[in-house]
Structure 1
Amino acid sequence: MSPRHARVLLVSFGAAALVDLVSLAAGFTPGHLVAKPLLMPLLAAHTVARGGPRLLVAALLCGWGGDVLLLSDADPAFLAGMASFAAGHVCYLLLFRGAVPFRPAARARGTLLAVGYAVALTATVALLTPGLPAGLRIPVAGYSLLLTAMAYGATGLGPLAAAGGALFMLSDTLIATGVADWPQLPRPDFWIMSTYAAAQFSLVSGVLGTLGARRAPRAAYGEMRSTTP
């Protein structure tokens, strides 16, 4: 696809996100039911048009599966949706492992980030677990571990991807506080979806930007080789 198609798909994603958020803010449920399932397919199509990696597309499609499943309030649908998002996090982790080179100079910063994310994981699980239904405590703890690992892995791709991982953690924590019957902000679904849409967009932009920056020197080197007598 051409860059123009990629831009059209990204604008369409932004329009669908805007419709979804306005619908949630206004309490217009039909708008949310129509717009939410469009978000990840549009972002995945944009990724394909940009020549993004398959694992990134797979992560987004897993997110789409979770989005659709979480439209239902039934417990089995919630567990299935969590499993779908977990599969997406596995895709992200595999992508980060393959895309991020080992940088010894970043050891100290990486250690501090790892400690920070470990503390956030421990505190979140400890605080939320007592309020969760018994059947969700172990699945939520396991999912939280995977989510935190993904967010930490995203820090290796730069600030934009790191922000995406952190926003994903925030969005899912807001969902968990609702399940645990914590006091909620007005229109809680608005805050969940706004942080979620921003998270996925930031992760996609961070991955594509990092890969593009690495392809540019290789392309320039190839051009130099091709013009060398």
Structure 2
Amino acid sequence: MPIFEYGIDSPQLGSLLFSAAAAFLYLFMVERPPSARRTGAKTLSVALLAALSVIVGGPILLTAALLLCAAGDAFLAQDDERAFLIGLAAFLVGHILYAVLFLGLGSSEVVVAQPLRFGIGAAIVLAAMVASVRIIPAAGPMGPAVAAYIAVIVAMGLSALLIPGWGVVAGALLFMASDTVLAAQKFLLGPEDAPFLRARFVWVSYYFAQVLITLSTLQLI
């Protein structure tokens, strides 16, 4: 059942609205130092999408992936290298679950019927190769972890092409764009290179990616 067919006072729509409110609040905190309020707003944005999935009886893989991403957000909100690695691991597993979910819900017939998806898949692989050449060497000791992450998110993006409609595909592409800019920000760009715009692009594209993936997947159940 489409989310917006629920009443304004329903827990389903309430979860989505509170998620959007937390995401909007975090938009004004992206460049602030780590704090409980900042971490809470960032984490709740996606955790409430997981709550929405639970309330409407969504796939357990969707719920688990959202919860892992919310945990990853909590760790990445800290200014600490160890927390960054833990957050990276949480997102990596989350992307694996997304890929498994999309493979289970999708069909190769969708790609055969819409050849444009072949082109999108080729563009995903090409973009990942270009990004890998630049980012992995710059990551130093973290290079193997970054390489594994790139491979997994490419798998997630390609598996999204199997899902009917374009919501999940758009969400996967936004997710990949957000992660690419985040990686470039951490490993390639200097602090003076428009951090204000980068931080906001990463957050907005990431949050809309999660919303698109969540709502589009729930439409399939």
Report the TM-score, using the length of structure 2 for normalisation.
0.86
SS of the equivalent of 1:116 reads helix
RMSD: 2.0
The answer for the alignment partner of 1:179 in structure 2 is: 186
Tell me the CA shift for residue 195 of structure 1. 1.2
The answer for the alignment partner of 1:227 in structure 2 is: none
The counterpart of 2:136, out of the listed 129, 133, 156, is 129
The answer for the alignment partner of 1:220 in structure 2 is: none
* Correspondence 1:33 to 2:39: yes
Distance 1:89 1:76 in 2: 20
* Correspondence 1:16 to 2:16: no
Tell me the CA shift for residue 39 of structure 1. 1.4
Tell me the CA shift for residue 23 of structure 1. 2.7
Q: 2:213 corresponds to which letter in structure 1?
A: L
Count of aligned pairs: 208
Percent identical among aligned pairs is 30
Q: 1:123 corresponds to which letter in structure 2?
A: V
The counterpart of 2:82, out of the listed 76, 80, 100, is 76
The counterpart of 2:157, out of the listed 145, 151, 154, is 151
Distance 1:131 1:23 in 2: 28
Distance 2:137 2:126 in 1: 18
Distance 1:80 1:96 in 2: 24
The answer for the alignment partner of 1:202 in structure 2 is: 212
Tell me the CA shift for residue 70 of structure 1. 1.0
The answer for the alignment partner of 1:114 in structure 2 is: 121
* Match runs of 1:24-63 below 5 Å: 24=30, 27=32, 30=35, 31-63=37-69
Quick check: 1:167–1:195 contact (8 Å CA) kept in 2?
yes
1:22-63 superposed Cα distances (whole Å, 9 cap, x missing partner)? 2337x4864423311211221101111222100000000110
The answer for the alignment partner of 2:147 in structure 1 is: 141
More helix per residue: 1 or 2?
A: 1
The answer for the alignment partner of 1:218 in structure 2 is: none
Quick check: 2:34–2:78 contact (8 Å CA) kept in 1?
no
1:6-37 superposed Cα distances (whole Å, 9 cap, x missing partner)? 00110000111111112337x48644233112
Q: 2:84 corresponds to which letter in structure 1?
A: F
* Structure 1: stretches of 5+ with no match in the other structure: 213-229
Identify if the C-alpha distance between structure 1 residues 135 and 122 changes in structure 2 by more than 3 Å, giving closer, same or farther.
same
Worse overlay, 28-37 or 135-144: 28-37
* Correspondence 1:193 to 2:200: no
Q: Which runs of 4+ in 1 moved over 4 A?
A: 27-31
Worse overlay, 174-183 or 39-48: 174-183
1:93-119 superposed Cα distances (whole Å, 9 cap, x missing partner)? 111111012307337434322221110
Report the TM-score, using the length of structure 1 for normalisation.
0.83
1:170-216 superposed Cα distances (whole Å, 9 cap, x missing partner)? 1111211122131433323222211111111111111112x14xxxx
The counterpart of 2:169, out of the listed 162, 168, 177, is 162
* Correspondence 1:86 to 2:86: no
1:109-167 superposed Cα distances (whole Å, 9 cap, x missing partner)? 343222211101100111222322x2111110110111111112112222111111011
SS of the equivalent of 2:194 reads coil
